[in-house]
Amino acid sequence: MASETSPQRPKYQRIADDLKTAIESGLYGPGDRLPAESVLAVRYDVAEVTAHQALKMLRIEGLVETEKAAGPRVIEFRPIRRHGIQRLASEQWGAGKSIWSADEDRPVTIDVRVDTVAVPVHIARLLDVDESALVCARSRRFLLGDRPVMLATSYLPLGLVEGTAIMRYDTGDGGTYARLAEIGHAPTHFREEIRCRLPVAEEAEGLAMPSERPVMKLCRTAFDAELRAVEVNEMTTDSAAYVLEYAFDA
């Protein structure tokens, strides 16, 4: 398995590349144990600390998990395939279904907090409200089993949603978008931006992930038929937990 290609790459990266190729080819499947550090050190004629660095790279990428007194194991977690277009169709939330169900059939646990807060400056610009305005902030933490996969906060103009089910813990069938439709502001257009960066400490802690692994930051703005921004949803996802899929006609 040792590779003589890319001689300029550090040895630990070449070891990690070989192991990654073996995982992606199916040589090591979900739940399989990888060779221990001591075995890799002999196989590649390197110090154990170099083998440790290689396995750390795979852990940061979300490919393996390590346990005390046991060799590294290929993670069994199946990434979430996020259908970037179909999930927002009115046929989904308009029929009382959750957006989550468009992506996943696995049960999800969602921790929800609803607050009235001063609008963050960058959100004020997106919602086109005064920087002194108050907004409804719906914060959620999504977990598959015991694994956190996404943090999300939706901001909605308080004057628009105050007194509605959107201010409750449980917004009901179809979620926030169905409730917006009921008050005459159904989303008809979306704009979504995606970027990657390393997590801040609060994000890494909330997602229970290594601080060296990037997160994907998604910001979605929902507009009603009058092109008024009715929601801004900021999402932070574990990049090892998601695949973003976009399928649409030419």
What is the CA 191 to chain-centroid distance, rounded? 18
User: d(Cα 118, Cα 67) in Å, to the nearest integer?
Assistant: 43
Residues 108 and 210 in one domain: yes
The pLDDT tens digits for 180-192 are: 999 999 999 999 9
Residues 51 and 173 in one domain: no
End position of a domain, from candidates 74, 95, 119: 74
Tell me the pLDDT band of 3, cut-offs 50, 70 and 90: very low
End position of a domain, from candidates 74, 97, 126: 74
Q: Which domain holds residue 145?
A: 80-245
- If you write DSSP's letter for every residue of the chain in order, what string do you get? ----S-TTS-HHHHHHHHHHHHHHTTSS-TTPBPPPHHHHHHHHT--HHHHHHHHHHHHHTTSEEEETTEEEEE--PPPEEEETTGGG-HHHHTTT--SGGGT--S--EEEEEEEEEEPPHHHHHHHT--TT-EEEEEEEEEEETTEEEEEEEEEEEHHHHTTSGGGSS---TTHHHHHHHHTT----EEEEEEEEEPPPHHHHHHTT--TTS-EEEEEEEEE-TT--EEEEEEEEEETTTEEEE-----
Tell me the pLDDT band of 198, cut-offs 50, 70 and 90: very high
Give the whole-number percent of the chain exceeding pLDDT 90: 82
pLDDT of residue 4: 45
What is the reported pTM?
A: 0.88
The pLDDT tens digits for 208-220 are: 999 999 999 999 9
